[in-house]
Chain A
Amino acid sequence: MLELSGIHKTFNIGTVNEKKALIDLNLKVNEGDFITVIGGNGAGKSTMLNVIAGVFPPEQGVITLDGVNVTKMAEHRRAGMIGRVFQDPMVGTAGNMNIEENLALANRRGKFRGLGWGVKKSEKEFFKEKLKMLDLNLEDRMGTKVGLLSGGQRQALTLLMATLIKPKVLLLDEHTAALDPKTASKVLSLTEEITSKENITTVMITHNMKDAIKYGNRLIMMMGGTIIYDVAGEEKKNLTVNDLLAKFEQSSGGEFANDRMLLG
């Protein structure tokens, strides 16, 4: 489905700030996988998602998505196959445009945009139905500017937009980290509901180890720009937070007591 092989990504090459973000990263994502990704700050989690999405190209390595080599494909071209939700709720939606305009933009992801109407009448019913699924009463506020919505509502809307056209892979970059716990769990259960209903292949970064264990069928742990632990199936189900902590400590040589992960 999605395969990363031998990916290297270095920022600020040749300067004192040179930072190797990904080092020989290999990952094979199978159709229908829901992978949770954990790892400390600077482990390369977000860089990995950005490389998949095409925000920047890797220096080395090949990315294939559904049999197509997308390594050098421009971000907006790749977008037709990839759904994304970002950590910052402001990033995923256009605040000055209303709900239906945002959805209409998402409904044309990967398609040719011509001089037809930006929001077609026939689409509106479809959008309404989809919005009802979110259970946030947004279906009655289709003309409301997205900027007037709360962070949680924007994140739920972004999630809907990312999956409106079924993506080949859905990339979630800590999409609940900026939300309060109650809203975060609501958005997470929505994520679960949508991805399982449509069987969407998903890669989700999280800082919350409980969530990482609770959701998905596979878990990977990253450190220093590469994957250090990859577990799936029964073994993953039986994991505990303590197991993960132990695994972490063992790999990092115990220097991780201050890490944000502990808060999860």
Chain B
Amino acid sequence: MVIFQTFLTGTNQGLLWAIMAIGVYISYRILDFADLTVEGSFATGGATAGIIMTLCKDFVAKGPAQGIFISVIGLLVAMIAGGLAGLVTGLLNTKLKIAPILSGILTMTGLYSINMIIMGLAIKKPMSNLGLGMVGTLFSKAEEFMPISRNWIIFIIAVIVVAVVVGLLYWFFGTEVGSAMRATGNNERMAKAQGVSTQNSKILGLVLSNAFVGLSGALVTFQQSNASVTMGVGSIVAGLAAIIIGESIISGKFPFWARLLSIVLGSIIYRIIISFIYLAGVNSEYIKLLTAILVVLALSIPLIKEKISKMPRKPKKNAKGKDEPDDTARQDAIVDEYVGEDEARKDTDVLQTEDGADSAATEV
């Protein structure tokens, strides 16, 4: 039972944080913009949603329907607040020509104060923490409606929200504006030559990305009945972990919606792993270090694979020879796997491919 509960809470967390990971995917993978705003805008989303619940607590107390109504407003305002944070980063980068990473860091740093101001609006004094235990949240209010446990309610709502987000983005990146945004991230010179305003594309992409990050922050705040100024710390790495785990699950030719779902799946797997690490009694302070190491390993795998594939290879029969030491056999197996993939890719797509290697490396 404990195991199952851990799975369920892990899945729930994974779903709620997946929306943040999708936001990171938009900036990091589609726009090719390493946006650190996320660490701040996640908390901004949580702070905004939290303060709206707190400020409207009398209305929320009237009943579950009122509570849910205000919660939904809170989610929407959190998205807007996150989007505004993205807008600032976008303007810093495109109009003031500040480098992407620095633009994000500047916004993130500024948000640290802003988030405290937001959370302190009810008592007119900056606060680093905002509890919602007394006020209630979307999930606690929904619990009063439905005869199922809190975890299942979170699960159902999270699945719905994630489905809407994935559907929306799948549609959006198929539109003219969405295509222009993808082209901007892929090849800025080409995009400009085809009449795309790459500045607008970047700004809009960052707004979109951080709006989802804000939404995710708000949902996580509702789930843990608490917003704090540090809740976004490490979220970039968590988002990357979800993206990379997702990409390792599906690689090669997949439609865009499957890529988005792979991030959701990656986020769920990541959170389940963390839930079990907690269950095993590991101090929560260590988790971020573990995550960072995990992401470093995951990011370096392509490079390691390439290094290995460039090493002089022994003839195949040697690798299968029984008196070979284990290590070499494993290494060769990796090489075979890699080369196999490469050849398969060529087989499907070559007529006159000459620079397949270049594209394989840069595929989104």
A, B co-complexed:
yes
Interface, chain A (partner B; CB < 8 A)? 53, 74-77, 79-80, 84, 86, 90-97, 101, 104-106, 108-111, 113-119, 136-137, 141, 144-153, 161-162
* Min CB gap B197→A, angstroms: 5
Count residues on chain B whose CB falls below 8 Å from chain A CBs.
37
When chains A and B are docked, how far (Å) is the Cα of A153 from the Cα of B1?
Answer: 59
* Contact A114 B176, beta carbon cutoff 8 Å: yes
* Contact A149 B193, beta carbon cutoff 8 Å: no
When chains A and B are docked, how far (Å) is the Cα of A115 from the Cα of B179?
Answer: 10
With A105-B196, A109-B194 known as contacts, the answer to whether A86 contacts B358 (CB < 8 A) is no
Does B192 have its Cβ within 8 Å of any Cβ on chain A?
A: yes
* Contact A108 B176, beta carbon cutoff 8 Å: yes
Does B177 have its Cβ within 8 Å of any Cβ on chain A?
A: yes
With A92-B190, A105-B179 known as contacts, the answer to whether A144 contacts B349 (CB < 8 A) is yes
What sequence of 0s and 1s flags, for each residue 170-183 of chain B, a beta carbon within 8 Å of any chain A beta carbon?
00111111111011
Closest to B354 in A: A150
Does B353 have its Cβ within 8 Å of any Cβ on chain A?
A: yes
* Contact B195 A108, beta carbon cutoff 8 Å: yes
When chains A and B are docked, how far (Å) is the Cα of A117 from the Cα of B192?
Answer: 20
* Min CB gap A156→B, angstroms: 11
Interface, chain B (partner A; CB < 8 A)? 172-180, 182-183, 186-187, 189-198, 349-356, 358-360, 362-364
Interface residue SS majority, chain A: loop
Closest to A120 in B: B176
Please name all residues of chain A whose beta carbon is closer than 8 Å to the beta carbon of B175 when the two chains form the complex: 114-118
* Contact B354 A109, beta carbon cutoff 8 Å: no
With A94-B187, A150-B355 known as contacts, the answer to whether A105 contacts B363 (CB < 8 A) is no
* Contact B362 A147, beta carbon cutoff 8 Å: yes
* Contact B196 A91, beta carbon cutoff 8 Å: no
* Contact B195 A109, beta carbon cutoff 8 Å: yes
Please name all residues of chain B whose beta carbon is closer than 8 Å to the beta carbon of A147 when the two chains form the complex: 355-356, 358-360, 362-363
Closest 3 CB pairs of A and B: A147-B359, A118-B179, A79-B195
Can you name 7 extra interface pairs (CB under 8 A) apart from A104-B179, A114-B177, A116-B176? A84-B193, A94-B187, A105-B179, A118-B176, A145-B349, A147-B355, A149-B355
Please name all residues of chain B whose beta carbon is closer than 8 Å to the beta carbon of A90 when the two chains form the complex: 187, 358
User: Which residue of A86, A118, A141 is within 8 Å of B174 (Cβ)?
Assistant: A118
Please name all residues of chain B whose beta carbon is closer than 8 Å to the beta carbon of A96 when the two chains form the complex: 182, 186, 359, 362-364
* Contact A95 B187, beta carbon cutoff 8 Å: yes
User: Which residue of B176, B362, B363 is within 8 Å of A117 (Cβ)?
Assistant: B176
* Contact A76 B192, beta carbon cutoff 8 Å: yes
* Contact B182 A97, beta carbon cutoff 8 Å: yes
* Min CB gap A87→B, angstroms: 12
* Contact A76 B354, beta carbon cutoff 8 Å: no
* Min CB gap B42→A, angstroms: 27
User: Which residue of A79, A148, A152 is within 8 Å of B193 (Cβ)?
Assistant: A79
Most chain A CB neighbours (cut-off 10 Å) among B176, B187, B197, B353:
B176
Please name all residues of chain A whose beta carbon is closer than 8 Å to the beta carbon of B363 when the two chains form the complex: 96, 145, 147
Please name all residues of chain A whose beta carbon is closer than 8 Å to the beta carbon of B176 when the two chains form the complex: 108, 113-118
* Contact A137 B194, beta carbon cutoff 8 Å: no
Please name all residues of chain B whose beta carbon is closer than 8 Å to the beta carbon of A145 when the two chains form the complex: 349, 359, 363
When chains A and B are docked, how far (Å) is the Cα of A3 from the Cα of B294?
Answer: 59
User: Which residue of A77, A94, A111 is within 8 Å of B183 (Cβ)?
Assistant: A94
